[in-house]
Structure 1
């Protein structure tokens, strides 16, 4: 996508967020025609956000289940950028009024210990595993701005930073059980609302990290030491409609809590 069109689309996205406008597809001539176009716009949009929200400190991977990919009409995951001032510690309070429509996604996050080399070949779970030195329970804050899921333009979603609006993290564990079989349980005001296993994230969370590394490599970027990767949700997204406290317990790893007001 030419740079001027990507800039116009990014500026349109920023204006829509400031106006708290309902999510809609980007319009021609700036509408992305390919997934590469969508990431070109995302790159420009994230650059506009960095003044207020800080530098890139990690990434999110979304649509990590076959069911969600089918629902959204795409056959692969998607990625977004996590910015420094959008990272919250467990126990944080977030306000629904700060989002078009707040969604919570209950996830496994990993910490990158050393730079993952940029290569010309697809990364595998085995290739990225030595570069991971921490795992934690996490909640992604997504802002779908009330999107119409029956008529969803996934390329415009990707351009909109794949809807990432922040993350909430527990402390990182430096030892952990087999992530494929780890069970995560979510609760709202102490009542169970859903659960899922590490294998629900592309078969294993490391597969998600490997997909992300390959995607970044295709754009000449690599995962860096110290970055956090949100590997994907173990259950369906929750959209809070009233004040409540949420907790996500990840077996043998830790727990993360967030209050919604």
Structure 2
């Protein structure tokens, strides 16, 4: 298990639990931010020197505004699930935010604008769908978690890093902008067997992201908190600290296997998962 996993599982919900008592960017500031983001215009940080609690409060004000354009919330994304992302954003644990209908609307092979966001980036990711509310009490055992999932879906996430000056992007600001949730492209879903063998596949698979010119990244399943399914008990704890829980039908974006890479016009990006199933499975998007 990666070195930060236990700290990540323990720390973030405790840090975020005080959000309701924190100061917060006001409604007008978040409405202005949402308008800029939906116009694909980079923004300044919503407030200088925010804490994680203040960033979460800002997120709670941003999401209802974004829903008007991006559609209803359909689940959650978890960001900063690997060491490189945590280092880049100076936060030693994951962060979560809602995802929208628009995040999962596009299908593999679709063509989307390269300028789909204020600061558009591309990541290889993986979605799972919650079968039932038992996921909230499944604990950390991988086979127990699989019993409460009914779909695994190859996924290229198309996030928005939002800030005009990415040097100012840290954990609180990432929370405030909804952990960058915007668009994505889904591949063919399949029902995961609740077996130790499939859990092992999730950990040992290789996820490769390429375009027509070159390989962009390659990572093992263990890149996400030591195992992709370790993301779920972290999210359960984080949501409990917010006073909510996963529900049947929720989609969970487990995190980036690749770094957040610039979205390049004229490129087709493909994520391939080798070892996840008997034959490699892929998802792709063309950016115009």
Question: Larger helix proportion, structure 1 or 2?
Answer: 2
The correspondence of residues 168-207 of structure 1 with structure 2, limited to 5 A, is 168-175=185-192, 177=198, 178-189=201-212, 191-207=214-230
Structure 1 residue aligned with 2:233: 210
Q: Structure 2: state its 5+ residue gaps.
A: 1-20
Could you tell me which residue of structure 2 aligns to residue 62 of structure 1? 79
Paired residues of 2:91 and 2:170 also in contact (CA < 8 A): no
Query: Match for residue 10 of structure 1?
Result: 30
Answering whether residue 167 of structure 2 is matched by residue 144 of structure 1, we say no
**Deviation of the 1:74 alpha carbon:** 0.9
Structure 1: segments with no counterpart, 5+ residues: none
For the residues of structure 2 that align with 1:185 and 1:2, how far apart are their CA atoms? Answer: 41
Q: Confirm or deny: 8 A CA contact 1:116 1:213 kept in the other structure.
A: no
Q: With structure 2 as the length reference, what TM-score do the two structures score?
A: 0.80
Tell me what 2:44 maps to: 24
- C-alpha separation in 1, matches of 2:207 and 2:179: 23
In the TM superposition, 1:66-215 aligns within 5 A as: 66-87=83-104, 88-116=106-134, 123-126=139-142, 128-145=145-162, 147-175=164-192, 177=198, 178-189=201-212, 191-215=214-238
CA contact (8 A) 2:45 2:168 kept: no
Aligned pairs for 1:246-257 within 5 A: 246-251=269-274, 252-253=276-277, 254-257=281-284
Distance in 1, matches of 2:24 and 2:90, equals: 28
**Aligned counterparts of 2:102 and 2:176: Cα–Cα separation in 1:** 20
What's the offset of the Cα at 1:107? 1.1
Instruction: Name the CA distance, whole Å, in 2 between partners of 1:190 and 1:95.
Output: 19
Structure 2 residue 247 is matched with structure 1 residue 233? no
Q: Measure the CA separation in 2 of the matches of 1:104 and 1:185.
A: 13
Q: TM-score, normalised by structure 1?
A: 0.88
Kindly provide the CA deviation profile for residues 49-70 of structure 1, in whole angstroms up to 9, marking residues without a partner as x.
Answer: 1122221111111111123212
RMSD: 2.4
Matches of 1:76 and 1:124, distance apart in 2: 17
The DSSP-based 3-state class of the residue aligned with 1:218 is helix
Distance 2:91 2:167 in 1: 14
DSSP-derived class of the 2:262 partner: coil
SS at match of 2:64: helix
| Secondary structure in structure 2 of the residue aligned to 1:41 | helix
Structure 1's 20 and 235: CA in aligned 2 closer, same or farther, altered over 3 A? closer
Q: Over residues 217-259 of structure 1, what are the superposed CA-to-partner deviations in whole Å (9 max), with x where a residue is unaligned?
A: 1111111111111101112222123311111111234211111
